[in-house]
Amino acid sequence: METKFISKDKITGLISSLEGEIFVPQKRENSFHWQKYPCAFSLEGFRTSLPPKFFFYSPQEKLIEKNIIKRAVVGIKACDLRGILFLRKVFKEGDFTDPFFRDDVFIISSDCTYIHENCFCTLLGDNPYPEKGFDLNLSEVEGGFLVEIGSRKGKILVEKKQGLFSPASPEQIEESRKRREEVKNQIKGKKIEIEKNIEPEKIADEIKKCVSCSACTNICPSCFCFLLDEQSNFEKVRFLDSCQYCGYARVAGGANPRKELDKRFIYRIKCKFEYSPERFGLRGCFACGRCISACFGGINFKDVLLKLGKGCRMCNV
């Protein structure tokens, strides 16, 4: 598929042509936050503070009638696109098909142009730029963006708005490649590979700091566990749940296989690196680092993974 170029002054023309509710990232000091368009927006930098998963399903919703307003999200970064692909597997292709999961959202993703201090995608073998799962992707170059088409919907939009685009030159494609490489090189550290037999004693000090608040799972782009509640009027409501709550695994009769903090903490890691690959064919962590920023216990998840990883911990290779 031919790569296109769109100049910066035409980007609002592209965004305004999207249908339905449109969400864009807005920069505030050193972070990015989702805002409803039209508003000032920024496609630079790294992932937003909150993940885009709530554009696809709600943290609390009545399971009565699906809201069918069209939606488009602009500026989703690579880690979050992987999170959305993961959620699609869970909600659409897994053990059940969820009619409330919105898989018709138009996605314009964009490359990371610099990283957040907690980002570690390359340490898990991923790249800080989108490779699949988008309708269109924007890679910043001098004066504008390269536009990659990733779906039929994306192709139709580009054809409809062809006056906004021109063919990308080989120089622009090379510039984009170099910029991507530079961002990749901003993430330093050794590769993370989690061993199957997790030894809790290696991370005992970190586990002790956990206060079971669930901030890590709520803010994770791929954590999806929920709780169904039947209300007094017999309406069914679905809420976010968290494996970090003490009562998460409790069953009728009061038995609880994960009452202890260390079992819950280890379960979260195994869910992401062992059970999710087994069930869905995908890892459940995309190295966005949000759980590090959000943790009330001050736990650095990347360091936890490094301590559990393969290799010699004495010489750090």
Q: How many residues interact with ligand SF4 (rule CB under 6 A)?
A: 26
User: Which among 21, 143, 139, 16 is positioned nearest to 77, based on CA atoms?
Assistant: 139
Smallest separation, CB 264 to ligand SF4 (Å):
8
**Residue ranges of E strands in the chain:** 4-7, 21-28, 31-36, 60-62, 71-76, 106-110, 136-141, 144-149, 166-167, 226-230, 236-240
Complex with ligand SF4: residue 161 or 307, whichever CB lies closer: 307
Give the shortest CB-242-to-ligand SF4 separation in angstroms: 7
Contact present, 15 and 106 (Cβ < 8 Å):
no
* 244 counts as binding ligand SF4 under rule CB under 6 A: yes
Considering only 179, 221, 267, 276, the residue that binds ligand SF4 (CB under 6 A) is: 221
Unique residue bearing structure tokens 């749940």: 241
For position 45 contacting ligand SF4 by CB under 6 A, the verdict is no
With CB under 6 A as the contact rule, the residue among 110, 122, 139, 222 that binds ligand SF4 is 222
CA distances from 156 to 133, 169, 188, 257 (A): 16, 22, 39, 51
Tokens 């505030």 locate to 28
Residue 4 or residue 53: which is nearer to ligand SF4 going by CB?
Answer: 53
In this complex, which beta carbon is closest to ligand SF4, that of residue 131 or of residue 175?
Answer: 131
Burial code (b: 16+ CB inside 10 Å, e: under 16) for 242-271 equals: bbbbeebeeeeeeeeebeebeebbbbbbeb
Task: Name the segment binding ligand SF4 (CB under 6 A); options: 4-12, 129-137, 191-199, 206-214.
Answer: 206-214
Return the number of the residue (172 or 276) whose C-beta is nearest ligand SF4.
276
Please tell me whether residue 210 binds ligand SF4 under the rule CB under 6 A: yes
* For ligand SF4, the closer CB: 4 or 283: 283
* Shortest distance in whole angstroms from residue 288 CB to ligand SF4: 4
Q: In angstroms, rounded to a whole number, what is the distance separating the alpha carbons of residues 250 and 139?
A: 47
Among 216, 243, 306, 308, binds ligand SF4 (CB under 6 A): 216
Residue 187 phi/psi, 5° resolution? Answer: -90, 115
Residues 278 to 297: which contact ligand SF4 by CB under 6 A?
Answer: 285-291, 294-297
- Token pair recorded at residue 115: 């990283």
Quick check: 301 binds ligand SF4 (CB under 6 A)?
yes
Q: Which amino acid is at 270?
A: K
State the amino acid at position 81 in one-letter form: L
Minimum gap (Å) between residue 285 Cβ and ligand SF4:
3
CA 101 – CA 99 distance, rounded (Å): 6
Q: What phi and psi, each to the nearest 5 degrees, are found at residue 173? A: -65, -40
Provide, rounded to whole angstroms, the least separation between the CB of residue 31 and ligand SF4: 15
Q: Which is nearer to ligand SF4, 52 or 144 (CB)?
A: 52
Residue 220 sits in the site that holds ligand SF4 (CB under 6 A): yes
Whichever of 108 and 220 has its CB closer to ligand SF4, that residue is: 220
Q: Which residues of the shown chain bind ligand SF4 in the complex (CB under 6 A)?
A: 210-216, 219-222, 244, 272, 285-291, 294-297, 299, 301
